[in-house]
Amino acid sequence: MRLTQRDIARLARVSQTTVSLVLNNRTEASARIPAETRDRVLKVIRETGYVADPLARRLLQQRNQILGVFTYESVFPSASADFYHPFLSGIEESAEERGLDLLLFTSAPVTDGRRRVFHANNRLRLADGSLLLGRHIPTEELTRLVAEQYPFVSVGRRDNPDSSPPVPYVGADYVSATATLTEQAFELGHQRVAFVGPGEGAESSADRLLGFRRIAARGLHLPPADRALDDVLEELLSKNVTAVFVEDLADADALADAARRRGLTVPGDLSVVALGDASRPIPSDADYSGFHIPRKEMGRQAVGLLESILSGEPADPQQLLPCELVEGSTLAAPRGL
Amino acid sequence: MRLTQRDIARLARVSQTTVSLVLNNRTEASARIPAETRDRVLKVIRETGYVADPLARRLLQQRNQILGVFTYESVFPSASADFYHPFLSGIEESAEERGLDLLLFTSAPVTDGRRRVFHANNRLRLADGSLLLGRHIPTEELTRLVAEQYPFVSVGRRDNPDSSPPVPYVGADYVSATATLTEQAFELGHQRVAFVGPGEGAESSADRLLGFRRIAARGLHLPPADRALDDVLEELLSKNVTAVFVEDLADADALADAARRRGLTVPGDLSVVALGDASRPIPSDADYSGFHIPRKEMGRQAVGLLESILSGEPADPQQLLPCELVEGSTLAAPRGL
DNA sequence: GATCGAAGGTAATACGAATTAGCACGGCCA
DNA sequence: TGGCCGTGCTAATTCGTATTACCTTCGATC
């Protein structure tokens, strides 16, 4: 049988109110408990090992010291484990420092291949506020979250739904990072460059293409999803591309590997730039030129932003963190020069 | 402003009770709501997007559909990320299938270098029950959990505190796995074998040594913690050891590497057997003989056992899963044969 | 024409803690 | 000897939902 404050009160021969007052160290004028009574209550509490039911507290108070974590993909999948891990690592670190627990919404049902926040029995309110992770978050979910004024922060930039208040996020500045690398390629003498990646769908994909186009307005764009990377390579070579920018490091690695199997050298014949980290484990651990996503820091800052929102402190609700550029060894001047 | 059942009731011109009955699909004789009224209520619910506050429900009900996860080390540390991940992956999978959320107790304060479940404001009761992870769990914590009848399951075998009911766990059968491998070594002709690992402290360490001693009663035992692995290698060689069993794959790798640097071959001059997976990332990915810990399965089964306990179904509270033996290429007959 | 039962609800209460309002008592001052 | 204040508490209420116990109306039955 669970102990309640009433039980403690009975044992200490005081009222439930007194137990609550002692427990919360209320020493104001309105609640004067002499040391003797206080000690008696504390003694019973110690002896019984009583702890207040955190849920009953929340019913009356505002905060529960729980942050929700909602991932639009599995949190601990084997495949993308390495990719998601740093985000969670940052979130956990920050939560630990702030004395917050994390609630992973693993119960959200999967419909049409995606998880959904909103379903018949959504449990968002168990947490004070939530962090949202995932490549893509459906607009209607974002709209509704904003409309209901649920406190949340997205890890990763999100497009703003029309005519709604800004969606709070902590993202990475893919546009600048990609533009910088593209510029470097031109400065090295590359003339024909290509972008391999979806370039749309998720904001992160669109942003990279945007950064690429900002410098290489008429560079080639090849979405990789619908074809084998060998075919992609084929097309790159037939169009005399000398530097290719690949969204996913795993694809970059596969592409470089395909090139080498055809007797080409990287970066001699083809420079390969990785615009981010590997979404799946890759065999080699070559030192690719490109950038890293500040994943851990994004997690940390997202917790910070959510806390600001929850505590009502003013804070910029949309933050972009710089990506860490990696010099690497796969971007160099094209052979002809 | 949050919507409550009272608000819905007002809008649908019924009582709060009726809203609750409709919401919970109560169709028994004791609660007959005609379709007309039901529809009216459901319409309002749909239009307003109302969802019941999960916390208020729990106050009355027994279950909350939340499982706690308490790790005695960080959950997402960079260092042991790869080691813990599979456990969590299994836990998540199983929780998802069962419609449970996971609460990570990241708020537990660290005292004397360890996290503790029990502290002034312990939040265990937020969850229906909890899973405990970690190399070592202090006996007093286990004793108290059992004493308070808190529903929990340990991932990993735990020694039973004296005169207490059995500690529920899902562990791995390190004893058998280690014994089997030791036996294999003897059958291959090894005469002088050694065990490298603490062999005590954590149950997992003790079990491995136990399995080793079961076959090699007088084999050498070298705790690695207090010395460099080069020293350990030195001693192994001076005692003509031809097969070494290492608790941690990371140590096994380091040891094999040290051996090679001295011009020895593995397994020619020294067989190296890894009794488990790497607790930290290792540079090479050599194909070590030994076994894998069924980490993911342990996570899955732990959730299953906890569910059984929570629902009152009978189940063996102490379960050992077999380890997956790996033939590998680092255990072979000693050179002399 | 009183009784009964079913239909269609609702009022009241419980869950566990926090908060608000206020009560009883004693001492001090006028 | 009455009023006032400070001390040391406690009764009552609140949060949002689920449940239990009951109430009213109406038609059928005896």
Q: Do B131 and B269 share a domain, yes or no?
A: no
pLDDT tens by residue, B49-85: 898 888 888 888 777 889 999 988 765 555 556 778 8
Inter-chain residue contact A74 with B96, CB threshold 8 Å: yes
The mean per-residue pLDDT over the stretch B42-55 comes to 90
Whether CB of B14 is under 7 Å from strand C: the answer is yes
Rounded distance, CA A249 to CA A269, Å? Answer: 19
Q: Do B263 and B309 share a domain, yes or no?
A: no
Nearest to B80 by CA among A278, A89, A96, A102: A89
Q: Is the pLDDT of residue A164 over 80?
A: no
pLDDT tens by residue, B300-333: 999 999 999 998 889 999 999 999 999 999 999 9
| Domain endpoint, select from B253, B273, B292 | B292
Query: Confidence band (pLDDT; 50, 70, 90) for A30?
Result: low
The closest CB to that of A101, out of B64, B88, B107, belongs to: B107
Q: Do A127 and A158 share a domain, yes or no?
A: yes
Q: Which CATH number covers residue A23? A: 1.10.260
Q: Do B304 and B273 share a domain, yes or no?
A: no
pLDDT tens by residue, B264-275: 998 989 999 999
Domain that holds residue B196: 174-292
Domain membership of residue B184 (yes or no) is yes
Check: CB of residue B318 under 8 Å from CB of residue B160. no
Q: Do B187 and B278 share a domain, yes or no?
A: yes
To the nearest whole Å, the CA of A66 is away from the closest chain B CA by 9
Nearest to B169 by CA among B119, B118, B207: B207
Q: Is the pLDDT of residue B110 over 60?
A: yes
Mean pLDDT lowest among A156-160, A250-254, A305-309, B58-62: B58-62
Query: Confidence band (pLDDT; 50, 70, 90) for B91?
Result: very high
Q: Do B167 and B308 share a domain, yes or no?
A: yes
Higher-confidence position of B142 and A117:
B142
What is the overall mean pLDDT for chain A?
89
Q: Do B242 and B302 share a domain, yes or no?
A: no
Query: Confidence band (pLDDT; 50, 70, 90) for B337?
Result: low
Query: Confidence band (pLDDT; 50, 70, 90) for A67?
Result: very high
| Domain endpoint, select from B14, B30, B52 | B52
Domain membership of residue A330 (yes or no) is no
B55, containing H or E segment: helix B54-60
To the nearest whole Å, the CA of A208 is away from the closest chain B CA by 27
Nucleotide in closest CA–C1' contact with B55: D16
Residues 128-167 of A with CB under 8 A from B: 144, 148
Query: Confidence band (pLDDT; 50, 70, 90) for A149?
Result: confident
The mean per-residue pLDDT over the stretch B158-170 comes to 89
Domain membership of residue B60 (yes or no) is no
Q: Do B31 and B164 share a domain, yes or no?
A: no
Rounded distance, CA A224 to CA A321, Å? Answer: 27
Domain membership of residue B87 (yes or no) is yes
Q: Which CATH number covers residue B193? A: 3.40.50.2300
Check: CB of residue B246 under 8 Å from CB of residue B272. yes
Query: Confidence band (pLDDT; 50, 70, 90) for B280?
Result: confident
Domain membership of residue B237 (yes or no) is yes
Q: Is the pLDDT of residue A280 over 60?
A: yes
Please name the residues in contact with A168: beta carbons below 8 A apart, sequence gap of 6 or more. A152, A153, A154, A305, A306, A309, A317, A318
The mean per-residue pLDDT over the stretch A289-297 comes to 96
Higher-confidence position of B132 and A111:
B132
Chain C, protein-covered positions (CB within 7 A): 7-12, 14-22
Name the E strands within B105-182.
Answer: 110-111, 114-115, 129-133, 152-155, 169-172
Axis crossing angle, helix A81-98 with helix A295-311, rounded to the nearest 10: 40
Rounded distance, CA A40 to CA A288, Å? Answer: 67
pLDDT tens by residue, B284-300: 778 999 999 999 999 99
Q: Do B72 and B165 share a domain, yes or no?
A: yes
- Best mutation site among A24, A59, A104, A115 for testing chain B: the one with the most B CBs within 10 Å? A104
Q: Do B300 and B278 share a domain, yes or no?
A: no
Domain membership of residue B212 (yes or no) is yes
Strand pairing of A101-104 and A110-111?
unpaired
- The string of DSSP letters for B277-307 reads --SS--S-----EEEE--HHHHHHHHHHHHH
Higher-confidence position of B103 and A119:
B103
Higher-confidence position of B331 and A72:
B331
- Helix, strand and coil in chain A, % to nearest 5: 40, 15, 45
**What is the reported pLDDT for A76?**
55
With a pLDDT cut of 70, the percent of chain A lying above it is 94
Rounded distance, CA A65 to CA A43, Å? Answer: 27
The closest CB to that of A99, out of B51, B100, B107, belongs to: B107
Higher-confidence position of A278 and A158:
A158
- Total length of chain B: 337
The mean per-residue pLDDT over the stretch B30-55 comes to 88
Check: CB of residue A197 under 8 Å from CB of residue A247. yes
Q: Do A143 and A180 share a domain, yes or no?
A: no
CA angle B256, B260, B265 (to 5 degrees): 90
Q: How many domains does chain B have?
A: 3
Q: Is the pLDDT of residue A79 over 60?
A: no
Domain membership of residue A13 (yes or no) is yes
Coil, strand, or helix at residue A200? coil
**What is the reported pLDDT for A63?**
80
What is the overall mean pLDDT for chain B?
89
Domain membership of residue A196 (yes or no) is yes
Residues 53-112 of B with CB under 8 A from A: 53-56, 58-59, 64-66, 74-78, 81, 85-86, 88-89, 91-93, 95-96, 99-107, 109
Q: Do A198 and A238 share a domain, yes or no?
A: yes
Minimum CA–CA partner of B105 in chain A: A101
Q: Is the pLDDT of residue A92 over 80?
A: yes
